[in-house]
Amino acid sequence: MKNRNIISVFLLLSILLQACQAPNEMLNSVFNDGKQDLNNFIQSHHFHLEENKNGIAVSIKDLPCDCHVQGIGWAAESKQIVITCQDRCEQESGAYLFLYEEEQLLPLDVQKSTVGVLSNHPSAIQIQNGVFPVAFASTRNQDSFIEFYTIANKRLSPNPAASIHVPKRHIGALAYANIKGNTYLIGVGWDAEDLTIWQATGENKTTDFQELSYRTEVLSIIPDKDKPAWGAYNSLWLGSLIDGRVVLLGTHGKTWERGSSLDVWEIHGLASQEPRLELLNSNTMTKKTKKGIHYFYEGVTLKTKGSSLDTVSLLAAPHDFTTLNCPTGYRCSDAIYEFRAY
């Protein structure tokens, strides 16, 4: 009995010692156990492509023409995926939003935007607690309209009362997150040449956003050594690290390059009128699929397990729907891929 008590005390002391480890040692321990938090993820230099995601399909009734994917969002609470795309109809132009279960082929819900913009180029998106904004825009110097949608009961519900009109400014990708008790939007313009930051007091806000900063030239707030890394971002993701640093993830690429780059920026002075960006890491997502194809992933988002950031990966969608090898009456996209860092 005495030996058992000694062993029990020893185990308890071991647990307490582990809990008192330095932060970096704790992170390394978690990483080595096969789990991964956001800190480790952004420091990784390699990504492993997981080809365990099904393709997705939409009936021709819901999607009358091919669709150019613009963004993908992950709803952690409901484990659902939202995809935005710009249609390619000859007689009309607009944008579609699709809601999918994580492993489901057909969408639960389909919404077409009603924004009165010619091409309705729908931005890449980020979902926060079942709510997400989408920026609809046309060409470089046309107005943009940011509208909010809610995911509830397997449906996408637009909120007409929550909207932001951005005159003569293209918003091509949009990040949305709670940071230090407030809600922030970060949007980049055509080829990410300009950057806008909005703030609303309190968390999970969809209204009362105030423009904090608008930079017509993003390179003016980036150190000279990091300027070459800034890209024409298709997707953005905003969040916080364990140590409180605020980071912005961006992906960019071109169709003919058949690949995407992932950059991680630290944002200094997010709530100020003079924000600054500093590069933390840069990687290339060019893993071949089993079919030997290098995809350009126009839609990319960070995926977390549940509402925590203890396991992190990337969800990536190729840039176009296609009718190849698709059942009659449907339009299909090859797959949604998942990237894990290692």
Q: What is the pLDDT of residues 64-121, one digit of tens each?
A: 888 888 899 999 888 899 999 888 776 666 789 999 998 888 999 999 887 766 667 8
168 phi, psi to nearest 5 deg: 55, 40
Instruction: Give CA–CA dist 113/151, Å, rounded.
Output: 15
**CB 98 within 8 Å of CB 107:** yes
Reading the block at residue 290, the tokens are: 């089993």
Share the mean pLDDT of the chain.
Answer: 80
pLDDT for position 174: 94
Whether 207 has a pLDDT exceeding 80, the answer reads yes
What local confidence, expressed as pLDDT, does residue 199 receive?
97
Element (H, E) at 20: none
- Residue 79's Cβ-side half-sphere holds a number of Cα atoms within 13 Å equal to 6
pLDDT for the residue numbered 286: 63
**Cα atoms in the Cβ-side hemisphere of radius 13 Å centred on 250:** 26
Neighbours of 323 (CB within 10 A): 12
Cα distances (Å, whole numbers) of residue 132 to 123, 167, 184, 204, 209: 11, 21, 12, 10, 14
Of 45, 24, 40, the residue nearest 263 (C-alpha): 45
Residue ranges per structural domain of the chain = 34-341
pLDDT of residue 17: 28
pLDDT tier at 132, thresholds 50, 70, 90: very high
Residue with tokens 């949007």: 187
Looking at residue 26, what is its pLDDT? 26
Instruction: Report which of residues 145 and 118 the model is more confident about.
Output: 145
Residue 42: pLDDT band by 50, 70, 90 thresholds?
Answer: confident
More confident residue, 16 or 137: 137
Residue type, 247: V
Query: What is the structure's pLDDT at 13?
Result: 26
The set of residues, in sequence order, having a beta carbon less than 8 Å from that of 256 and lying 6+ positions away, is none
Look at residue 323 and give its three-state secondary structure: coil
Higher pLDDT, 138 or 199: 199
pTM, 2 dp: 0.83
Q: For the domain bounded by 34-341, which CATH number is listed?
A: 2.115.10
Cα separation, 174 vs 138, whole angstroms: 15
Return d(Cα 226, Cα 205) in angstroms, integer.
32
Which is nearest to 237 in space by CA: 190, 285, 177? Answer: 177
Measuring CA to CA, which residue among 235, 213, 59 is closest to residue 132? 235
Average pLDDT over residues 133-147: 87
pLDDT at position 258 is 60
Render pLDDT for 233-243 as a digit per residue (tens, 0 to 9). Answer: 989 999 988 88
Ramachandran category for residue 306: left, alpha or beta (phi over 0 → left; psi -120 to 50 → alpha):
left
pLDDT at 221 over 90: yes
Q: CB 48: neighbour CB atoms within 10 A?
A: 12
Of residues 218 and 92, more confidence is placed in 218
Residue 256: band (very low, low, confident or very high) from pLDDT cuts 50, 70, 90: low
First-residue to last-residue Cα distance in the chain? 45
Kindly report which listed range (95-99, 137-141, 270-274) carries the lowest average pLDDT score. Answer: 137-141
pLDDT digits (tens, 9 = 90+) for 304-339: 765 555 678 888 887 678 767 788 899 888 778 888
